[in-house]
Structure 1
């Protein structure tokens, strides 16, 4: 079997999906980066406060990503059969779950901002800035939940560009309002972190409004209507829970991991937290392209497996692994190349800048593993139908490797960069698991209602 498939339609579809998804992810990242960068001119407390506040955004993103994943995995396979009726029912279930989660997190953030920020750091300046930001930006979580599920529904039927257009609009609004409200331009008062939060609220509300209008009134592939929200299919609900809960569970585990990362690094100074924030932004900027590629591969995988083309999928998987590994090596080089220029964008203290250099050196290595194993495990294994494997794998690494090793390093008084490296060690270790799992081909399973799961990937 050739390493690179000769099927030109694979490359054509991959590029057609990956580019708009990657650009949309980049713009979604840019909205948060605009907040982070402009706030970065206000000093370490502001950087750290917004970083800690955004961990709640990261938490809800994990939950919603789980719901999106469940929608994409099931819907992509039904799309392989052109069964849009079942896709509408799956999306309807996802919307309801997203609404409930978004509402719950919004209420928590708005009503208890100081208590939430205080869970991660005792630095009073950081708590004050973070709580002020979280109380306002918390309003967006419900809107964010709905808009992301709407966009995921469009991706599942290979309509990827609309998400890009909506994100471009949201970015323009967010950056413009950030400039005006953070620094007090055009006659407005300088609101600092509160201004960044208000700008985010306005852009998220607009993003949600446009995405909902498009899905309900413009789209002609899915033809989703408000009446679909009122219908319940007990069989598909069971499928959503059966296949969706491991996806959501995996995201919850990862959210817990991120919160523990913040808790552990938050026990140091504001300079360390600022460095973690700066490093995370550079990592996400580089990885956003890989994330788009992985999502595109996931759609192709679901559609191919759903159509029962197992031998074709085996051929594709060889090509995908080589692409992901190559992108990983390139990403590691780009992280090092952009290190100094990226750090200089922030008005950080010498302490924060020194730690940023150390942390960025660490992620220049770990991002290679991330690009290979994370992308393969989602784009191939999870989207191919073996959902529970990824959940179990993440759970084992987070609870038995990552968190314990970081706590031991901290207890032994290891340098801060060593503790940071321990929190990222799984990104390399999981590569060995991914290589074995993917090349056994036992992850190809048809999850559609009339499909028959084939754990050995055979027809």
Structure 2
């Protein structure tokens, strides 16, 4: 570990960096899986890509909910790790796993009822609809495997062992590519399953990743998961408290997903070139911004470990000051990447129309400023969650999205405002969240941890 026995942090920036870089690479590889699947499917034509995209939107929502629950679990595991009590680690892991499996089953049940009409309504041809349903049917294996895999990853992250989840993707991604290629195109005598083959490749990869994590967990920490007893007396009481902590985190993700979907539908009313520019820049924002977000998540995990140890306020304040300095550097790196993307857009996307490249350049002022308030807000949000204030954090996200960004986006698009103004709402939203986040953090109530 990166802390001294007395509770004083040793090089907080180094401690956060050591946790953040595996989380960053893991998140980038997670984003890259979608790109890889699309590249593998591309040889089947545009209709196959449309089928995968239609089913993938539903599957991605289910996986996102599981990831949100797992992020809550890793905070509780981190607090348990800080206490040094094996029963706390055991409770956090098993409660997280049970809740993730329950959420997966509920989500798959809802998909069984709702997915078919959604797919039929969005499919341009019967073949696209049929292939999308086959893809989603096979993707249920991915959802169930990831319910366990994300719980295992959350346990490792909460204990500060962020490299194991990264290694699991490092081994699983090549498995996904090889198996998907074989099953999509029917290589080596296997049947050619087309779009469904990509889903089965992802399923084999997810099962392999889950086995890898379970094997290493039992080898490294299996004894602590079998100790007698539960926190708060019984498993049922522990589950209720775990769920009460986790639900606001999951609700925050669902709200953000819906708000982004609504805004995308509004963006579709822009001119073709402006909408294309908005579509092109969004993946770069997700991928390049990953390091800043993972830096904040690592900060939250370490804060939760400190709170579990009963660290005093001055130790927490010193740690956060160092964390903010590192976050500033991370934000500067992200801004530099955005600058490079905009300046090189003509080379990266050589077939773009001049109007689209001009729109990308209009985004540049916002992109250069956005990482700084976003990174600082992320530090606040993850720290407050570590202290148990998940409901407060949820309110900040939900109300800034639905009372500001969504209506402001609709208003600017309706009046025909320049696309640069529309895009700047991403920065304005962070500025709206800035005061409530930072004022709440300064109050210091989160330092008491969860009762």
Give the shorter-chain TM-score range: 0.7 to 0.9
Shift of 1:50: 4.7
Report the Cα offset of residue 207 of structure 1. Answer: 1.7
| Corresponding position: 1:410 with 2:448 | no
What SS does the aligned partner of 2:445 have?
coil
How has the CA–CA distance of structure 1 residues 385 and 314 changed in structure 2, closer, same or farther, with 3 Å as cutoff? farther
1:126, 1:316 → 2: CA distance? 56
**Residues 22-41 of structure 1 correspond to what in structure 2 (within 5 A)?**
22-38=24-40
- Equivalent residue for 1:83, pick from 75, 82, 85: 85
**Structure 1 length-normalised TM:** 0.79
CA distance 1:428–1:249, shift in 2 (3 Å): same
TM-score of the superposed pair, with normalisation by structure 2 = 0.81
Relative to 1, partners in 2 of residues 1:116 and 1:357: Cα closer, same or farther, differing over 3 Å? farther
Q: CA deviation at 1:446?
A: 1.8
Structure 1 gap segments, 5+ residues each: 1-5, 449-459
Give the one of 379, 388, 391 matched to 1:388.
Answer: 391
Q: Is the 8 A contact 2:269 2:413 kept in 1?
A: no
CA distance in 2, matches of 1:296, 1:279: 26
Q: Larger relative contact order (C-alpha < 8 A, sep ≥ 6)?
A: 1
Out of 334, 337, 343, the residue aligned to residue 337 of structure 2 is 334
Q: How does 1:183-198 map to 2 (within 5 A)?
A: 193-198=195-200
2:219 is aligned to 218
Kept after mapping to 1: 8 A contact 2:292/2:330 = yes
- Which residue number in structure 2 is paired with residue 92 of structure 1? 94
- Any conservation in 1 of the 2:184–2:197 contact (CA below 8 Å)? yes
Cα distance between partner residues in 2 of 1:269 and 1:105: 36
- Which residue in 2 is equivalent to 1:451? none
- 1:250 correspondence with 2:256: no
SS at match of 2:392: helix
How far did 1:376 drift?
A: 1.0
CA contact (8 A) 1:385 1:446 kept: yes
- CA deviation map 1:147-202 (0-9, x unaligned): 10111012212222221111111111123345555677667787665443332222
Q: Does 1:364 align with 2:373?
A: no
Q: 1:234 to 1:105 in 2, by over 3 A?
A: closer
Cα deviation, 1:245-275, whole Å, max 9, x if unaligned, reads 3222222322322332344346679988776
Question: Offset at 1:445?
Answer: 2.6
Q: Which of the pair is proportionally richer in helix?
A: 2
**What is the aligned-residue RMSD (CA, Å)?**
4.0
Distance 2:170 2:54 in 1: 26
Match of 2:166 among 161, 164, 167: 164
Distance in 1 separating the partners of 2:358 and 2:46:
13
Structure 1 residues 288 and 53, CA, compared in 2 at 3 Å: closer, same or farther?
A: farther
Residue 360 to residue 282, structure 1, CA distance change in 2 (3 Å): farther
Specify the alignment match of 1:71 in structure 2: 73
In structure 1, which of residues 193, 202, 205 is the aligned counterpart of residue 204 of structure 2?
A: 202
Match of 1:11 in 2: 13
**Which one of the candidate residues 322, 328, 333 is aligned to 2:325?**
322
